[in-house]
Amino acid sequence: MKNYNNVENCPVRNVIDRIGDKWSMLVLLVLEEGEVMRFSEIHKTIETISQKMLTVTLKALEADGLVSRTVYPQIPPKVEYQLTERGKSLLPHLHSLVGWAVDNMVNIKQSRKEYAAELS
């Protein structure tokens, strides 16, 4: 049996730590559709994210080399984001997961209801 305890070097933990937060996966999918997008464009597409969390999420994705950030030094400032090659290479796997989610969401919701009903 494999060793699942070394969090530091475990690729499983490594990948879910990055995309498993509240917004990263969503931002990646939005950037895939938009190709090149300004900060405010992303924000408009995901209205429910706060400005702070969008900043934090983009910085984390940038640090991992999944998203590139281009600053145009003008006033008012203009900053563009787009997927890097590494970021693009991740997307098929995300879509695979999303596809499964779409196919199973209805049944899962039903299971949750039944499970909750059993407890009462």
Residue numbers of the site for DNA (CB under 7 A)? 21-23, 38-41, 48-53, 55-56, 58-59, 69, 75-79
Cβ neighbours, 10 Å, residue 45: 16
d(CA 42, CA 37): 6
Residue 13, contacted partner among a copy of itself, DNA, none, CB below 5-8 A by kind: a copy of itself
User: According to CB under 8 A, which residues from 34 to 63 bind a copy of itself?
Assistant: 34, 45-48, 62-63
Q: CB-hemisphere CA count at 13 Å for 112?
A: 6
Which among 1-9, 50-58, 72-80 is the span making contact with a copy of itself, rule CB under 8 A?
A: 1-9
d(CA 79, CA 42): 11
Identity of the residue, 75 or 92, whose beta carbon is nearer to DNA in the bound complex = 75
Identity of the residue, 7 or 103, whose beta carbon is nearer to DNA in the bound complex = 7
Structure tokens at 2: 């494999």
